[in-house]
């Protein structure tokens, strides 16, 4: 996986269905706007992407790069990858079946159905939904899109980094939320060592952190505030390879800090994002990541598929 694969994905997008992918804004602010002693904080507003998350990029690339059978496409997802696959399938006029775990929020399930997907709730966590999805795929022969561990999916995610560079040049650092690792892998593949890519995980969903401790990908128990988005049981093979080569830092964050950052983004910036999109700000606010005085640090606001009621300051964590 390299910049050439990401360039190829971008070319497919140029030739794909019109108006599907959006060039999401890159908002540059002084560090002082966040109370931080750094040069700039860039917000890549990927929550404005089709389907509400960066996943649209990888899923569309997967569909455009492969023949789609009459049985359509199939995916297991905590919600965002399923929404992205359903949106891409709708744009291409093909069938879509999405397997979700019980932890998938009602808002995400409703959105899947609005996009015309057949929704199957299977198991309590993502790994169980994936197992059921794979069984169904063997029966139907549908094109499988994986939430994070396919080359086309990772290359599609990497177009986000390419877009950041085209819009604002290279940041000094990019803070990226990690579940299965498709996004961090794509961003690392594009920037390699030209920008410091920092992997961020909830303490209760530490797939990359646990893999580094064990020396190889391992299964972990998943729970916590961001489990519906960062609910992979194990880091993906592609992400493991790329992060080993290009990502030095893998930091853990407490749910309370993630929730506080999510609420801060809503209260102070009027940005409605899900918990998984708030890890970058949480890392800065807690000091888990300390940028330099002149550093330009980029945060990926990766998803917005939430129930707006959860942004109430009185809502329980």
Identify the band that residue 316 occupies on the pLDDT scale cut at 50, 70 and 90. Answer: very low
Q: Which of 127, 145, 163 is the C-terminal boundary of a domain?
A: 145
Range from 113-117, 126-130, 233-237 carrying the lowest mean pLDDT: 126-130
Looking only at the bridges linking them, the beta strands covering 118-121 and 196-202 are unpaired
Cα separations (Å) of 81 from 14, 27, 48, 91, 314? 21, 25, 15, 15, 29
In a domain, 185, yes or no: yes
- Asked whether residue 188 falls in the same domain as residue 287, the answer is yes
Q: Range of 138's domain?
A: 55-145
pLDDT tens digits, 41-69: 999 999 999 988 999 999 999 999 999 99
pTM for this predicted structure:
0.92
- Asked whether residue 178 falls in the same domain as residue 301, the answer is yes
- Asked whether residue 49 falls in the same domain as residue 64, the answer is no
- Asked whether residue 111 falls in the same domain as residue 176, the answer is no
Q: Hey, which residues does 30 pair with through a beta bridge?
A: 40
pLDDT tens digits, 81-104: 899 999 999 999 999 999 999 888
- Asked whether residue 162 falls in the same domain as residue 14, the answer is yes
Identify the band that residue 219 occupies on the pLDDT scale cut at 50, 70 and 90. Answer: very high
In a domain, 114, yes or no: yes
- Asked whether residue 232 falls in the same domain as residue 169, the answer is yes
* CATH number for the domain that contains residue 59: 3.40.50.1100
- Asked whether residue 178 falls in the same domain as residue 128, the answer is no
In a domain, 199, yes or no: yes
- DSSP state, residue 36: -
- Asked whether residue 133 falls in the same domain as residue 224, the answer is no
d(CA 274, CA 194): 29
- Asked whether residue 33 falls in the same domain as residue 109, the answer is no
In this structure, the number of other CB atoms found within 10 A of the CB of residue 268 comes to 11
Identify the band that residue 313 occupies on the pLDDT scale cut at 50, 70 and 90. Answer: low
In a domain, 317, yes or no: no
In a domain, 218, yes or no: yes
Identify the band that residue 10 occupies on the pLDDT scale cut at 50, 70 and 90. Answer: very high
Percent of the chain surpassing pLDDT 70: 98
| Token output for 51 | 């389907």
pLDDT tens digits, 141-191: 999 999 899 999 999 999 999 999 999 999 999 999 999 999 999 999 999
The pLDDT of residue 304 is 85
pLDDT surpassing 70 at residue 275: yes
In a domain, 316, yes or no: no
What is the per-residue DSSP string for 170-200?
--SEEEEE-SSSHHHHHHHHHHTTSSEEEEE
In a domain, 238, yes or no: yes
In this structure, the number of other CB atoms found within 10 A of the CB of residue 166 comes to 12
In a domain, 60, yes or no: yes
Q: Which of 112, 145, 178 is the C-terminal boundary of a domain?
A: 145
- DSSP state, residue 303: B
Q: Which of 95, 127, 145 is the C-terminal boundary of a domain?
A: 145
């Amino acid at each position: 996986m390299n910049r050439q694969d990401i360039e190829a994905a971008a070319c497919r997008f140029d030739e794909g269905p019109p108006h599907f992918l959006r060039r999401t804004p890159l908002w540059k602010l002084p560090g002082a706007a966040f109370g931080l002693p750094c040069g700039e904080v860039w917000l890549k507003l990927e929550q404005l992407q089709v389907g509400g998350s960066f996943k649209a990029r990888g899923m569309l690339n997967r569909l455009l790069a492969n023949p789609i059978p009459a049985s359509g496409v199939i995916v297991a997802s905590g919600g965002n990858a399923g929404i992205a696959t359903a949106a891409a399938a709708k744009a291409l006029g093909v069938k879509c079946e999405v397997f979700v775990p019980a932890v998938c929020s009602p808002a995400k399930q409703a959105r899947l159905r609005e996009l015309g997907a057949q929704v199957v709730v299977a198991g309590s966590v993502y790994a169980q939904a994936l197992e059921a999805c794979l069984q169904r795929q063997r029966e139907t022969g549908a094109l499988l899109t994986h939430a994070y561990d396919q080359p086309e999916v990772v290359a599609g995610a990497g177009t986000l980094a390419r877009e950041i560079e085209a819009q604002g040049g290279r940041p000094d650092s990019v803070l990226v939320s990690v579940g299965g690792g498709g996004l961090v892998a794509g961003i690392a593949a594009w920037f390699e060592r030209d920008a410091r890519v920092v992997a961020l995980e909830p303490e209760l969903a530490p797939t990359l952190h646990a893999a580094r401790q064990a020396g190889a990908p391992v299964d972990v128990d998943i729970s916590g505030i961001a489990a519906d988005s960062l609910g992979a049981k194990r880091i993906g093979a592609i992400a493991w390879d790329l992060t080993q080569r290009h990502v030095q830092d893998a930091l853990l964050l407490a749910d309370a800090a993630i929730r506080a950052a999510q609420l801060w983004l809503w209260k102070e910036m009027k940005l409605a994002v899900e918990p998984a999109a708030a890890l970058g700000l949480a890392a800065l606010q807690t000091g888990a990541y300390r940028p330099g005085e002149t550093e330009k640090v980029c945060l990926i606001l990766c998803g917005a598929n939430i129930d707006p009621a959860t942004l109430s300051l009185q809502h329980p964590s």
